[in-house]
Amino acid sequence: MRGFRFGFNFFDVADRDSFVRRCRRAEAQGYHIALLPDHLGGPAPFPAMVAAADATERLRVGALVLNAAFWNAHLLAREVATADRLTGGRVELGLGAGHMKWEFDAAGIPWEPFGARVDRMAALVAELRGLFAEPGYAERADREAAHGLSVPAPVQHSGFGGSGPPLLIGGTGDRVLEQAALHADIVGIAGVRQAPGRPPGTFLLGGAEQADDRVRFVRERAGDRFAELELNVLIQHVEITRDRRAFAERLAAERMPYLTPEQVLDCPFLLFGTVGQMAEQLRERRERYGFTYVAVHAPFVDAFAPVIERLG
């Protein structure tokens, strides 16, 4: 059985010193990877990845996840290759189809139906695979030869068919998870889904049945590849409490009226209880769903750290 791997994401970068402290503290707590989302108003992913790797000794860095619509394949390939070289091969590339319409509007990017956004993401993956595999641009060959310049290619060759860094594709819908099953090294099983009939970006948290269904779908689409895939889950809330039932009732009543307390108790995208109980929950979820790569949101890094120690 695959061992656990733990990640955390950043909501902001206040200043260099606090960023460095957070990265070093997380590495000391046992986290394996620092993650950056790709949202307007938040930090730029690639500079923060390089800074996180530079501040630490072993911490891997990645995106959870880049919005495919924001990126041109050639420009993204340059960012990935440069970051992978500067971090000594610690980059993991996460891609998604994008889900916040206001960000598309603000950036002047046409908002398309979900299927079209997934098609754009799939095309980006295919283009990146080709670009990583190429020996550079023919137009630069003479200059590179004359001055002994290196070809800007990734250090890692474990993803993209052996030409680039590990690839994570995350989402909830059939089309995006099919792409993940076929082409990714890591599949992110998203816990949130678009609320039917509500404005884009209005989310509901899924439960155990949704997770079962999504993992089953990936297994079917991946076929023989499934045994090679790493399954990622992003925990939406971590809470240390001695009374799981009372916390579940409060969460259902105040924030998730569409879930019963029993569904909250069984939800694989939430983690609450004593440290021992939370560690056992993750072991059970590894057995049930195959989740071994567990990430938490920035506010819960310290609360989750004792669970990492217990599982270590």
pLDDT in tens, 217-249: 999 999 999 999 999 999 999 999 999 999 999
pLDDT of residue 253: 96
Closest CA to 208 of 216, 200, 197: 216
Count of alpha carbons within 13 Å of 125, Cβ hemisphere only? 29
Residues of the chain scoring pLDDT < 50:
none
Cβ–Cβ < 8 Å for 64, 94? yes
Per-residue pLDDT at 1: 81
Which residue from 154, 8, 36 is spatially nearest to 89, judged by alpha carbons?
Answer: 154
Q: Bridge partners of 231?
A: 187, 291
Q: Can you read off the two tokens belonging to residue 164?
A: 């680039």
The whole-number pLDDT of residue 78 equals 97
* 101 neighbors 66 (Cβ within 8 angstroms): no
Fold that domain 5-237+291-311 belongs to in CATH:
TIM Barrel (3.20.20)
Minimal CA–CA distance to 184: which of 151, 155, 160?
160
Length of the chain (residues) = 312
Domain ranges, ordered by start, for the chain: 5-237+291-311
